[in-house]
Structure 1
Amino acid sequence: MSLSRHPSVEAGLKTIHHEKSEKHHTHTEVQPHGNAFDVYGDEDEAEIKYRTMVWWKAAALMLAETVSLGILSIPSAFASVGMVAGIILVIGLGVIATATGYLIGLFKLRYPHVHNMADAGEILAGPIGREVLGAAQVVFMVFICGSHVLTGLIAFDTITAGASCSVLWAAIAAIICLVLTIPRTLNGISYLSVASFISIISAVMITMIGVGVAGHQGGVKVTANLKFGTGFLAVTDIIFAYAGHVGFFTFIAEMKEPKDFAKALYMLQIADTTLYLIVGIVVYAFTGAATVSPALGNTNTLLRKISYGIALPTIVIAGVINGHVCAKLIFIRIFRRKGVHSRHMTTHSWTGWLTWTGICIAIWTFAFIIAEVIPFFNDLLGVISAIFASWFTYGISGIFWFHLTPASERWTTWRQKLKTIFWSGIIVMGAFIMVAGLYASVNSIVEGYRTGGFPSPFTCADLGLQ
């Protein structure tokens, strides 16, 4: 079903030419659809044009952003919860992530001026909502960038067998990501995304072939009897594997035809769910209880180095996409005021470029610090998934649905009643994931430090998988 056919979206796409009474606008007021309310304005004479992506390029960006690190934690999640639960979680969370992603597309078409979660927060709760969701998106994406720097560090240490100080490898990873983040539009990065996707697919294929050749290394559990904390930490890894929704508004904003977003979303969800199932089942089936995370570490030393070498592009490029979206949010916030954007957004001015570059440097500096201060892969993903992905990927879409659907329409038919119950459940689900996931992740981190399982911050020790 096309996004533009949804009744709430059709209402949002009509231009309002006359004033309506406040009584009729208290819940469903729509911004006029036109260049004056588009985040980038009229681009006919612009030096830098943003709205240039076709749907498949948006799909490539979404695949690169979502699949890159998420797929590396799937086999270990299967090892924790068992084969059956792993399969059910991947499919179930994937289906729900598709529904919530579709709702984000509806919300964007309903309010064309929305560029990021901060703009959505302003619609939902005024200035307070804008600041809360804007800050949350920035923090979340900086942490994701940090996880990419950490994974880059692990990759370099693995490839070189710890030939240099790990702090240096983290710095190199951050600098490479910084340089590739500098282009101002997502259209150019979309081509890199294709290389990123090929990179991660090739790397996991080598891993799967490697574990297959090595044969079965341990028993496979159909089900698992776990403590709540241990089991839910594995669930947060799978949740993180679908945590690309935070960038969807920005991707749609730079598409030629925002209504084509559904095509990109379906391509993403079919591809990532299929990949997660294949990689999770195959790697866990052969490695069993010995499964490690990141997944590329489950082969012998030579194949491990080859896999990480091939995976380097996706580790970097996926980080670049997240860094770019984060920088774009801050950049837009600086140069857009009440629907009118500054010329620095669409011209090659010194002010525009220096501001953009400075934002990118700040993001990757913080990402480097996070990677060095929090040197543990799965638990880092668990914390940020619990606090942020629980809402950006799931809970917030339920709130969007209630905003788009007037109270008078929520209980009119059995279909509407089911939708109301479903989206209420999504909000509750987001809250539960946040509380339970944070509890499980913090417990795991405390236990890791208690047993001395984590290296100290800014250590030169070899953090690679040898």
Structure 2
Amino acid sequence: MSKESKESKEPYADETSAPGYVEAQDSDGTSVNTLNALIAEDHKHEIKLRTMSWQKAAWLLAGDQVCLAIMAQSWSLSVLGWVPGIITMVLSGILFWITSITMHKFIMKHPHIKDICDFGYYAFGKSRIAYEFAGFMLLANNILLIGFHILTGAKVLNTLSDHSLCTVVFSVIAMLMGIVMSLPRTLHHVSFMSMFSAACMGIAILLFLIFAGIEDAPLYGYNGNYPTDGPVRTYAFPLPGTTWVACMNAVLNITFLWVPQILFPTFISEMERPQDFPKSLAVLAIISAILFIIPPAIGFRYLGQYATAPAFGSLGVTAYKKGSFAFVIVPTLIIGVIYANVTAKFIYFRIMGKSRHAHSNTFTGWGVWIAIMAGIWVIAFIFAEVIPSMGDFLSLLGAAFDSFFGFIFFAVAYWQLYKGDLFSGAGRSIMTLIHVFVMLCGLFLLGPGLYAAVEAIISDYSSSVTPAFSCANASI
């Protein structure tokens, strides 16, 4: 079979067409020679992608994960109560680590994987349908998330300026800033921004905790201003009258924070030593275990049933609210940049293929890159303006997309890695049962979880909704 006919038959991350392809693997299943050939090939290009150290990858992971969603977890605890809430957080963290390690092992066995679409292609037996389906979900998930970050940027600017301009204008400002910051084509460069992103979000969280602790009482809660809903209190289990839909959306809010793996294959593909990814993952796991549980728990302790999402909105002193929320503008934009970079690369390499423009500083290459990036941010801006409640749509994302990219894909990948050897020994048997549970979690999110998210959106539409491209004040 000719090279051309082979490429037309398998155009997605085709291992056998790569320079230096061999089947040799080391003791942990890594295709070492193939991986080295891919890195050597990349380093011949003018624009080199595989350049990140594990330390820079750790910063990139932290920049993506240390985000505003942390400040929505106190609200999840206010819905679920201490016991179900903390159990959900801890269980989500454990499953995050296990599925991420499974993902890394699978990618090391198939080192040509460049993104989650290639991952789906191999995990489902070189299925083109799986590739295109994952591609659609990658675009939908990431563009909606970028839209959410545009909306959040507008909220920050509204809050800081006391709504000095139309909210649409603030959204346009956030969009333009995002386009400019997204111009670097390598994640190596984006990782530098991530350092500042994580640091600013850390400052915002710390200031919030200080302010929540020193103020007499929160001001605002979803059931009315303090003390409309009585004195601040915490509780072990959901309060009487809490609906199943509310509980499910609180669970989705937690799992959404713990499921960033849609980006991980792209991150790994730009590491100089992809074998070192578990080191970066360990750094992220430690940071996440601290920030995803302790600040939300402290927030719930001081805000109780008045907790909002994000929790900044419950603070009673305007200066406290502005002083802590102001730092969120940095991670809001930079996390949007990370998602835009991964999204643009998927589109860019589908268009440019293996042409010299794909990896060179040519006018055509940069022109296409800038056009794609601008298009992504403009589409995201439109979504941000026309969707009445981005919070509910994040629950929809968590159910529809995270069910696959956080659970189902990795349960299938585990089966591909160890089929025929699933119960050889106690350790392997335990891991197999855990991945069966992972699959069940994914199916649960895809079924009852998706139903709850849709019910919340229907409820929003049944009440008064913000009109599209509204100038209404979006301050928290």
Deviations 1:109-152 (A, max 9, x none): 11110001111222224211111111111111111111111111
- C-alpha separation between the residues in 1 aligned to 2:91 and 2:144? 26
Deviation at 1:268, TM superposition (A): 0.7
Cα distance per residue 1:230-264 (max 9 Å; x no partner)? 10100111111112111101111111110110011
Distance in 2 (alpha carbons) for counterparts of 1:95 and 1:369: 36
8 Å CA contact retained: 1:181, 1:360:
yes
- Among 303, 307, 317, the alignment partner of 1:291 is 307
Q: Give 2:67's aligned amino acid.
A: S
| Distance in 2 separating the partners of 1:253 and 1:306 | 38
The one-letter amino acid paired with 1:92 is L
Name structure 1 gaps, 5 residues minimum.
Answer: 1-14, 20-27
Residue of structure 2 equivalent to 1:362: 375
Partner of 1:33: helix, strand, or coil? helix
1:201, CA displacement in angstroms?
Answer: 0.7
* Residue matched to 1:42: 41
**2:341 corresponds to 1:342:** no
Distance in 1 of aligned mates of 2:406 and 2:280 = 16
Change (3 A) 1:18 1:394: closer
Which whole-Å deviations, capped at 9, do the CAs of 1:350-404 have from their partners, x for residues lacking one?
2211111111111111110111111424212111111111221222111110111
> Residue 9 of structure 2 corresponds to which residue in structure 1?
none
Aligned residues: 435
1:423 aligned to 2:424? no
> Is residue 2:312 matched to residue 1:306?
no
Q: Does 1:98 align with 2:97?
A: yes
Q: Within 2, Cα distance between the matches of 1:393 and 1:69?
A: 19
Contact 1:237/1:378, CA 8 A, preserved across alignment: no
Partner of residue 448, structure 1? 460
The whole-number CA distance in structure 2 between the counterparts of 1:390 and 1:44 is 36
Letter in 1 for 2:121: E
For residues 67-466 of structure 1, the aligned pairs below 5 Å read: 67-123=66-122, 124-125=124-125, 126-217=127-218, 218-225=232-239, 226-299=242-315, 300-336=317-353, 341-406=354-419, 408-452=420-464, 454-465=465-476
Is the deviation greater in 244-253 or in 219-228?
A: 219-228
Per-residue deviation, 1:33? 0.9
Q: 1:216, 1:285 within 8 Å by CA — same for their partners in 2? A: no
Q: CA deviation at 1:29?
A: 13
For residue 198 of structure 1, give the secondary structure of its aligned residue in structure 2: helix
Contact between 1:31 and 1:113, CA under 8 Å: does it hold in 2? no
Write the letter of the residue equivalent to 1:438.
Answer: L
Contact 1:67 1:241 in 2 (8 A): no
Query: In the aligned structure 2, how far is the partner of 1:329 from the partner of 1:431?
Result: 27
Matched-pair contact (CA < 8 Å) for 2:88–2:251:
yes
Contact persistence 1:239–1:390 (CA under 8 A): no
1:139-196 deviation digits (Å, cap 9, x = unpaired): 1111111111111111111111111111111111111111111111011111110100
Distance in 1 between the 2:23 and 2:253 partners?
49
| Rounded Cα–Cα distance in structure 2 between residues aligned with 1:16 and 1:115 | 16
Instruction: State how far apart, in whole Å, the 1-side matches of 2:336 and 2:287 are.
Output: 20
Q: Give the Cα–Cα distance (whole angstroms) in 2 for the partners of residues 296 and 437 of structure 1.
A: 27
Kindly report structure 1 stretches of 4+ aligned residues shifted beyond 3 Å: 15-19, 28-32
SS in structure 2 at match of 1:409: coil
Deviation at 1:451, TM superposition (A): 2.9
Q: Distance in 2 between matches of 1:207 and 1:435?
A: 36
Contact 2:43 2:50 in 1 (8 A): no
Give secondary structure in 1 for the equivalent of 2:235. Answer: coil
Q: In structure 2, how many angstroms separate the alpha carbons of the residues matched to 1:18 and 1:413?
A: 27
**TM-score by structure 1 length?**
0.89
Instruction: Give the letter for the 2:155 counterpart.
Output: I
Equivalent residue letter for 2:467: S
CA contact (8 A) 2:158 2:475 kept: yes
Aligned to 1:23: none
- Any conservation in 2 of the 1:66–1:243 contact (CA below 8 Å)? no
Q: Secondary structure at the match of 1:245?
A: coil
Amino acid at match of 2:378: T
2-side partners of 1:140 and 1:31: how far apart?
32
Of residues 395-404 and 300-309 in structure 1, the stretch that sits farther from structure 2 once superposed is 300-309
Moved more, 61-70 or 107-116: 61-70
Identity of aligned residues (%): 29
8 Å contact from structure 1 (residues 150, 375) kept in 2: no
